[in-house]
Amino acid sequence: MGNMVYLKNVATLAMDTTKCTGCGLCLDVCPHNVFKMNGKSAKIADRDACMECGACSRNCPADAISVQSGVGCAAAVINSLLGRNGGECCCGPQTDSSSAPRSGGCCG
C-alpha cells in the first residue's frame, strides 16, 4: 500500500526527544510507521504519514509524544467515510475543483 500521506505539514504530532526513553512502544503501536529509532531514542521519521490516531501518545510511558487525536484531516476523512457532516478538510494548500470541497471548521 505504500506510505500514505494525508496532507503535507498539517499533522499536530510533536515529540520531546529529551523525554524519550527509547522504549520503542511508539514504533510498535503506530499503524503508519511514523517513528524510527535514532540511537537510544525514537524520532519522528515521517510526520506527513501521521493520521493523528493518538496511539503513540496514549502508549508513551515517558509522555514524550503529543498529538491532537481525532482532529484535522484524519477526522475529516473518517467522518466523510461514515457519511457524517464535517467530512470536508480545510487544511493545507487549496485544491482544484476535482478534489473534495474544503469548507467547514475541521482544522480550527
Interstrand relation of 14-15 and 41-44 (parallel, antiparallel or unpaired): unpaired
Annotated domain spans of the chain: 14-81
**What are the two backbone dihedrals, phi and then psi, of residue 42, each rounded to the nearest 5 degrees?**
-90, 160
How does pLDDT run across 10-35, given as a tens digit for each residue?
788 999 999 999 999 999 999 999 99
This model's pTM is above 0.85: no
Q: Which amino acid is at 3?
A: N
- List, in order, residues 6 or more apart from 72 with CB less than 8 Å away: 10, 11, 12, 52, 89, 91, 106, 107
E strand segments, the chain: 14-15, 35-38, 41-44, 65-66
User: What b/e sequence results for 47-69 when a residue is b if at least 16 CB atoms lie within 10 Å of its CB, and e otherwise?
Assistant: bbbbbbbbbbbeebebebbebbb
How does pLDDT run across 38-54, given as a tens digit for each residue?
999 999 999 989 888 89
Residues counted in the chain:
108
The CATH class, in words, for 14-81 is: alpha beta
What is the spatial distance between Cα 87 and Cα 18, in angstroms, rounded to a whole number?
36
pLDDT at position 93 over 50:
no
